[in-house]
């Protein structure tokens, strides 16, 4: 994306969890380029600060808050710090999610399930509750949660992760129906994009993955995934809620 800040989200304040790298970083950059002030909630202080530096370098507004989304106190502190820094909250992007690499169903452990649950749907649930009064104070708000084709398609080797992502989709649909009267819109994105894991793959492995993508390219975290988040957070997305949006180059159902 270009360096100019396009003010379609001027005056908006957004939180993005896990925004120190990968998809979260791309979403944070996209929101900031669209004019939103962005709070980067990241467990890794170094990568969180780096994302903030990138945003301020092109004239955007951002702050970093060290936050382990599995810790209720950290979640509360992150929302409070955002409101203190920028005066309110309009957009919550629940991107952070712990995942264990491929493990067969019978080898998955209670610890795997607990880690995925606490970092995904439980963290999203807590942050949504914390954000709700601030959304109402602003006359509405937007939540973007993250699902995955691992859940919608039932990807082998990812039982705990898939279960967590489907639980997040369930939370999203309930919140969208209950909070619509408050002008709070809640949606899920299921992306297939160039995460940190993608960049660790060999060229041969990347080529193999791309053969399953009808568009024959990997999604860009900022332009492709971040662009859809900006749409949902803007007036252009004002009649979209309760939806699962596949941002995967047509991959769903073709793996």
Output the pLDDT for position 205. Answer: 67
Residue the block writes with tokens 């955007």: 60
Residue 252 placed within a domain: no
Q: Is the pLDDT of residue 255 over 80?
A: no
- Rg from Cα positions in the chain: 17
What pairs with residue 13 in β-bridges?
37
Q: Three-state secondary structure along 80-147?
A: HHHHHHHCCCCEEEECCCCCCCCCCHHHCCHHHHHHHHHHCHHHHHHHHHHHHHHHHHCCCEEEEEEC
What DSSP state is assigned to residue 253? Answer: T
Q: Which domain holds residue 195?
A: 7-247
Q: What is the mean pLDDT of the chain?
A: 92
Biggest distance spanned by C-alpha atoms of the chain:
51
For residue range 124-177, list pLDDT tens digits in order. 999 999 999 999 999 999 999 999 988 898 889 999 999 999 999 999 999 999
Active site residue 161: yes
Residue 1 has pLDDT above 50, yes or no: no
The yes-or-no verdict on residue 253 having pLDDT over 60 is: no
Q: How many whole angstroms separate alpha carbon 138 and alpha carbon 230? A: 18
Q: Which of 40, 41, 31 is nearest to 9 (CA)?
A: 31
Name the residue with tokens 């092109």.
Answer: 58
Q: Report the first-to-last Cα separation within the chain, whole angstroms.
A: 29
* Other residues' Cβ atoms within 10 Å of the Cβ of residue 140: 15
Nearest Cα to Cα of residue 76 among 18, 130, 156: 130
Tens digits of per-residue pLDDT, 199-236?
566 677 667 677 788 888 888 999 999 999 999 999 99
| Tokens read off for 147 | 């699902």
Is residue 145 included in any domain, yes or no? yes
DSSP 153-182: TT-TT-HHHHHHHHHHHHHHHHHHHHHGGG
pLDDT of residue 252: 73
Percent of the chain exceeding pLDDT 70 equals: 93
Options 117, 135, 161, 179, the catalytic residue? 161
Residue 2 located in a structural domain: no
| Location of structure tokens 């699962």 | 244
Q: Is pLDDT above 60 for 5?
A: no
Q: Look at residue 236 and tell me if it is in a domain.
A: yes
**Looking at the domain assignment, is residue 254 inside a domain?**
no
Indicate whether 169 belongs to any domain.
yes
pLDDT of residue 180 exceeding 50:
yes
Q: Give domain status of residue 127, yes or no.
A: yes
Total domains in the fold of the chain: 1
- CATH number, domain of 55, equals 3.40.50.720
Chain centroid to Cα 145, Å, comes to: 6
Pair 211, 142: CB distance under 8 Å: no
pLDDT at 200: 64
Q: Are 26 and 193 in contact (CB under 8 A)?
A: yes
Nearby residues of 110 by Cβ (< 8 Å), 6 or more positions away = none
Query: Higher model confidence: residue 99 or residue 137?
Result: 137
> Long-range contacts: 54-57, Cβ < 8 Å, 24+?
54/25, 54/29, 55/28, 55/29
Residue 190 lies in a domain: yes
């Amino acid at each position: 994306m270009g360096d100019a800040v396009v003010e379609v989200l001027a005056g908006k304040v957004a939180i993005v969890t896990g925004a120190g790298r990968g998809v979260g970083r791309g979403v944070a950059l996209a929101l900031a380029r669209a004019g939103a002030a962005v709070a980067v909630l990241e467990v890794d202080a170094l990568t969180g600060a780096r994302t903030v530096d990138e945003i301020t370098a092109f004239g955007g507004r951002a702050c970093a808050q060290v936050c382990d989304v599995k810790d209720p106190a950290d979640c509360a502190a992150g929302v409070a710090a955002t409101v203190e820094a920028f005066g309110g909250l309009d957009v919550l992007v629940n991107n952070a999610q712990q995942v264990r690499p491929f493990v067969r169903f019978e080898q998955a452990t209670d610890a795997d399930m607990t880690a995925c649950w606490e970092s995904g749907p439980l963290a999203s649930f807590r942050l949504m509750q914390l954000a709700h009064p601030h959304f109402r104070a602003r006359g509405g708000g937007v939540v973007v949660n993250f699902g995955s084709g691992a859940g919608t398609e039932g990807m082998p080797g990812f039982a705990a992760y898939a279960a967590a992502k489907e639980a997040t989709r369930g939370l999203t649909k309930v919140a969208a129906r209950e909070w619509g009267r408050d002008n709070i819109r809640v949606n899920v994105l299921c992306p297939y994009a160039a995460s940190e894991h993608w960049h660790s793959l060999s060229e041969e492995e990347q080529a193999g993955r791309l053969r399953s993508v009808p568009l024959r390219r990997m999604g860009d975290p900022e332009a492709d995934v971040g662009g859809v988040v900006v749409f949902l957070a803007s007036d252009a997305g004002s009649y979209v809620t309760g939806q699962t949006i596949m941002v995967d180059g047509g991959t769903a159902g073709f793996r």
